[in-house]
Copies of this chain bind each other. A is one copy, B any other.
Amino acid sequence: MSSTEQNHPFDTATQLTRESNDFHGQTSKRYNNMVGPFGGVTAATLLRSVLEHPERQGIPVSLTINYAAPVSDGGFTIQAEPARTNRSTQHWFIKLHQGDKTVVTGTAVFAYRRETWSTTETEFPKVPPANEVSSLPTEGLPAWVQNYHIKTVEGVPLQLSQTKTEETADSVTKQWIQDEPRRPLDFLSLTAICDAFFPRIYVRRKEMVPIGTVSLTIYFHADKKTLDEHGDKEVLGHARALQFHNGFFDQTGEIWTPEGKLLATTSQFVYYKE
């Protein structure tokens, strides 16, 4: 189960080749979703273009990715533009296009971080440790799911439960998750994991309807040292929706280490039909 980072399918899927101000990449069938690639890998690929940009300063603190259209199979080009560089923060515009069509837009904030007074206000969710939770069967699920080892504590979508039940009272999911095969956690894989929750509406309604994330935001609480110390262990994802209303629902989530460090908070707004 061990792997070197360079050979991991996730690193291949997010790989970019720089040519002047353009970063060229290729979609990876291994991370396909129902239509186009898994949005988490797309977000990670846009973030990677900034991380690999020669003018980049600091580490990611905030990332917003807007999915304007499905990414088509094949090649794409990303442009990352440093819009403003301050002493301790840097602001980026990011755009993914295929041919002359913009497919994904984004912004990122990078910063140099330093130690300050710190405290975690919210509590680590009440969950059994990962080794006491059974693995989610991934048979029949889209390709991207096969790249994760997911152990759902609470809140599975319909097609994974045994029988169709009434609407549940909530759309909360708690899941242990790690890359499969294992891979040391970094800003890129943390980004993808922030989007690796099944759509809240599948959990709430226990049925599938057409959906698509329009906007994803991630706040990185972790610095590089915290991620390095975490290594390739699983993380706990916790997500919920506050409202489903006339075609759009929100999702809010947190990603934790098993020891109770809050690595990232994330939100998204998702289109749905019916």
What residues make up the interface of A, taking CB atoms closer than 8 Å to B? 61-62, 64, 66, 68-69, 83-84, 86, 89, 91-93, 95, 101-103, 105-107, 109, 111, 113-122, 170-171, 204-205, 214-215, 217, 219, 221, 223, 240-248, 250, 252, 254, 262, 265, 267, 269, 271-274
A111 in contact with B219 (CB, 8 Å): no
Looking at the complex, which one of B105, B119, B121, B219 makes contact with A240 (CB distance below 8 Å)? B121
Residues in B with CB closer than 8 Å to A95 are 83, 93
B61 in contact with A109 (CB, 8 Å): no
A93 in contact with B91 (CB, 8 Å): no
A sample of 8 more A-B contacts (CB under 8 A), given A62-B269, A115-B246, A116-B274, is A64-B66, A66-B107, A89-B271, A120-B242, A121-B170, A121-B171, A219-B250, A219-B269
Residues in B with CB closer than 8 Å to A247 are 111, 113-114, 116
- Docked CA distance A69–B102 (Å): 27
Closest partner residue, chain B, to A212 (CB atom) = B89
- Docked CA distance A228–B7 (Å): 56
26 CB-based A-B contacts, threshold 8 Å: A61-B269, A62-B269, A64-B107, A64-B215, A68-B83, A68-B86, A69-B84, A83-B105, A93-B95, A109-B214, A111-B248, A113-B246, A115-B246, A116-B244, A118-B243, A118-B246, A120-B243, A120-B244, A120-B245, A121-B170, A215-B217, A215-B219, A217-B217, A252-B265, A252-B267, A267-B267
A223 in contact with B246 (CB, 8 Å): yes
User: Most chain-B CB neighbours within 10 Å: which of A68, A171, A243?
Assistant: A243
Residues in B with CB closer than 8 Å to A262 are 242-243, 245
- Docked CA distance A111–B66 (Å): 13
State the copy count for this chain. Answer: 2
- Docked CA distance A66–B171 (Å): 30
Known interface pairs A84-B105, A102-B91, A244-B121; A62-B215 also in contact (CB < 8 Å): yes
Looking at the complex, which one of B61, B68, B121 makes contact with A91 (CB distance below 8 Å)? B68
Residues in B with CB closer than 8 Å to A117 are 205, 244, 274
Known interface pairs A62-B214, A86-B69; A248-B272 also in contact (CB < 8 Å): no
- Docked CA distance A248–B222 (Å): 10
A198 to chain B, nearest CB (A): 16
A110 to chain B, nearest CB (A): 10
Residues in B with CB closer than 8 Å to A269 are 61-62, 109, 219
A243 in contact with B265 (CB, 8 Å): yes
B69 in contact with A248 (CB, 8 Å): no
Looking at the complex, which one of B103, B115, B242, B271 makes contact with A121 (CB distance below 8 Å)? B242
